A and B are shown apart, each in its own frame.
Chain A
Amino acid sequence: MSMFERLLALILVFAPLSLVSLGGGTSIFAEMQRQAVEVHGWMTARTFNELFAISRAAPGPGSLISALVGWEAAGFLGATAAALSLYLPSSALLLAVGGWWRRRGDSPVRRRIERGLAPVAVGLILAGVLTLMRADGAGWLDYLLLLSCTAALLGGASPYLVMLAVALLYIGLLRGGWP
């Protein structure tokens, strides 16, 4: 397959996924895996799982796994094509809605809508924390850590210090033979 055909295939896989990636990137991983492994044969299922682990370990949104899939399929150009195809369509839609919102300015209607949205947002944040903790297979130690970190942050601790303390704690636990 020529480079052009590979790039085109990547765009055709990722651009439609962009508009169905509701509720964050996780909802499209299954379909991304099917396309990359079964439909196009860019990699084995095992490689895909390894890429998933890398994307979880790296900074940035988990959906950057798209860049890794593109990289496996067609190198740096492939990574760029896959990532842009995944991000641009949803971004265009968000900017269209956001532009309309911005033109409302600081009106009473907008303030009423914002007030109504606030509890929904808080509920979604809590649900997101729960979901991610479960996806990582969190044990009691992780929940204890989550609550301690939150208490420290609410008490005004710098998140940088909290992250540093957590990293040191886990390195210590690893050295002690845990888990």
Chain B
Amino acid sequence: MIGGGGVAQQARPNEARPNEAKPRGMAAGEAGLGEILRVFVTLGMLSFGGGLSGWIHREVVVKRRWMGDEAFLAGIALCQVLPGPNAVNLALYIGQQLRGLPGAAMAFLGILGPPFLFILGLALAYGWGAGMAGFGVVLGGLAVAGLANSLTVAARAGRRLRGVRAWGIVVLVCVAVGVLRWPMLPVVAVAIPLSLALSWHEHV
């Protein structure tokens, strides 16, 4: 599950300065269907207790440059607003933007297929009386590391945000949803038009 260290090392030169340059000569069309499937199979098996958007960002935006930060973040907002699990939605969105319906199908199969079989296997093992107490604590730690991935995306995306108004929106949404625990939909229904209105006339 933690395999693929070689791939991780290859990508490190890119990680130092993510997205500073636009991908040169790399069109979205170059993401092969098999490659999309492979990437999302890995991603599906890597996510513990949330934090998957961080892994997806790393594979799709930082390492492979299949899409830019802006398109990725728009996908995050879209996927949270629409019903459905965010990670599955994000996989569908990316697959579809890259290769249309077949791409979306590959991403869907990749992110859900292996975990689906894995969780049934785990249920079987649990039924046979496998102890889970210590296992749970370690997985809880891994979940925190996964969340650190998400925080990294927020930090990297945050560096690109300009101005007090954009940061005001960040704080507003984070406090309302994360601290005050207001329902997300009404908050987003106010925050999106507000954010669009505040930034619309700035130079693109």
Distance in Å: Cβ of B135 to nearest Cβ of chain A = 7
B26: Cβ under 8 A from any A Cβ:
no
Give the chain B neighbours of A154 by CB distance below 8 A: 152, 155-156
**Complex contact A120–B192 (CB within 8 A):** yes
Contact assessment for A98 and B157 in the assembled complex, using a CB-CB cutoff below 8 Å: no
A179–B47 CA distance with the chains assembled, in angstroms: 24
Whole-angstrom CA separation of A101 from B92 in the bound complex: 13
CB-contact partner of B141 in A23, A121, A133, A145, under 8 A: A145
A98-B92 contact given A169-B141, A170-B138, CB 8 Å threshold: yes
* Chain B residues numbered 109-131 whose CB sits less than 8 Å from any CB in chain A: 111-112, 114-116, 118-120, 122-123, 126
CB under 8 Å from chain B, chain A span 37-68: 50-51, 53-64, 67-68
Q: What chain B residues lie within 8 Å of A22 (beta carbons)? A: 81-83, 184-185
Q: How large is the interface on A (under 10, 10 to 19, 20 to 34, 35 or more residues)?
A: 35 or more
* Interchain CB contact under 8 A, A158 and B5: yes
CB-defined contacts of B173 to chain A, threshold 8 Å: 119-120, 122-124, 126-127
Complex Cα distance, B122 from A84, in Å, reads 19
Q: Is A30 an interface residue (CB 8 A)?
A: no
Q: Which of B47-71 contact A (CB under 8 A)?
A: 47-55, 58, 69-71
Contacts A91-B92, A117-B73, A154-B155 hold; do A83 and B82 have CB atoms under 8 A apart? no
CA distance A63 to B18 in the complex (A): 31
CB B166 to nearest CB in A, in angstroms, measures 4
Return chain A residues, CB-CB under 8 Å to B29.
Answer: none
- Known pairs A94-B92, A128-B150, A166-B141; A121 contacts B84 (CB<8 A): no
Roughly how many angstroms separate A164 CA and B4 CA in the complex, as a whole number? 13
B29-56 to A contact mask, C-beta < 8 Å, 1/0:
0000000000000001111111111110
Please, could you name 23 A-B residue pairs with CB atoms under 8 Å apart, sorted by A?
A24-B80, A83-B116, A90-B89, A91-B104, A111-B204, A116-B192, A116-B198, A116-B199, A117-B73, A118-B166, A119-B173, A125-B151, A127-B179, A131-B181, A132-B143, A149-B144, A153-B152, A160-B8, A162-B145, A163-B142, A167-B142, A170-B138, A174-B138
Chain B interface residues (CB < 8 Å from chain A): 1-2, 4-5, 8-9, 12, 15-16, 44-55, 58, 69-71, 73-74, 76-89, 92-93, 96-97, 100-101, 104, 108, 111-112, 114-116, 118-120, 122-123, 126, 132, 134-158, 160-161, 166-167, 169-174, 176-179, 181, 184-185, 188, 191-192, 195-196, 198-200, 202, 204
Chain A residues packing against B (C-beta within 8 Å): 18-25, 50-51, 53-64, 67-68, 71, 76, 79, 83, 87, 89-91, 93-95, 97-99, 101-102, 108, 111-133, 136, 138, 142, 145-147, 149-150, 152-154, 156, 158-164, 166-167, 169-171, 173-174, 179
Extra contacts besides A90-B85, A124-B177 (17): CB < 8 Å: A54-B119, A60-B111, A90-B88, A93-B83, A102-B96, A111-B70, A113-B74, A116-B199, A120-B195, A129-B151, A149-B145, A154-B156, A159-B55, A159-B149, A162-B145, A162-B148, A179-B137
